[in-house]
Amino acid sequence: MGFIFSKSMNENMKNQKEFMLMNARLQLERQLIMQSEMRERQMAMQIAWSREFLKYFGTFFGLAAISLTAGAIKKKKPAFLVPIVPLSFILTYQYDLGYGTLLERMKGEAEDILETEKSKLQLPRGMITFESIEKARKEQIVENLEPSLEECIEVLQEGKC
């Protein structure tokens, strides 16, 4: 009789472990999907911001280019055209970010770094572990509890011991 009860108990525990494992896996998958969704939304906002900025900067660049060209012709000084060069680089960068392939090139470069330059991604002192966090937490508690040397000297000098 005890054997049957024990066998049933083991079966229930096994089923419970499988359920907990499946539940943990499902929760992890949901977290990964949520993080991916958040990253996609943030990237979409960045691209949208870049496109909006491009509209305003494009207008500014157009007006500046016309004004500087007119000034260069009127004053007969080609030096007025010099600011157009750096402004055109900014305009090109923003266009590439908003409508071009800049993000795809950056993604490719990031993948290359992950594959070939892994050592540059290492954290100082290695990966953060539970043990390192606990050690730092305990040290912080000890620092807060232990009086400083100056406090001990003050107490001894006042004769309160």
* pLDDT value for 123: 84
* Token pair listed for 10: 């083991």
**Could you tell me if 47 and 94 are in contact, meaning their C-beta atoms sit under 8 angstroms apart?**
no
* pLDDT value for 134: 87
Same-domain status, 107 and 128: no
Q: Which residue has the tokens 């979409």?
A: 44
The answer to pTM > 0.85 is no
CA distances from 76 to 41, 65, 79 (A): 50, 16, 9
* pLDDT value for 154: 74
**Could you tell me if 101 and 47 are in contact, meaning their C-beta atoms sit under 8 angstroms apart?**
no
Please give the Cα distance from 43 to 25 (Å, whole number).
Answer: 27
Same-domain status, 64 and 127: no
Same-domain status, 97 and 160: no
- Domain of 14 in residue numbering reads as 2-121
* pLDDT value for 61: 97
Same-domain status, 97 and 132: no
Same-domain status, 89 and 11: yes
* pLDDT value for 5: 63
Same-domain status, 103 and 142: no
- pLDDT (tens place) for every residue of the chain, 161 residues total: 556 667 777 888 888 999 999 999 999 999 999 999 999 999 999 999 999 999 999 999 999 999 999 999 999 999 999 999 999 999 999 999 999 999 999 999 999 999 999 888 888 888 888 888 888 888 887 777 666 667 777 777 776 55
* Token pair listed for 149: 């040397």
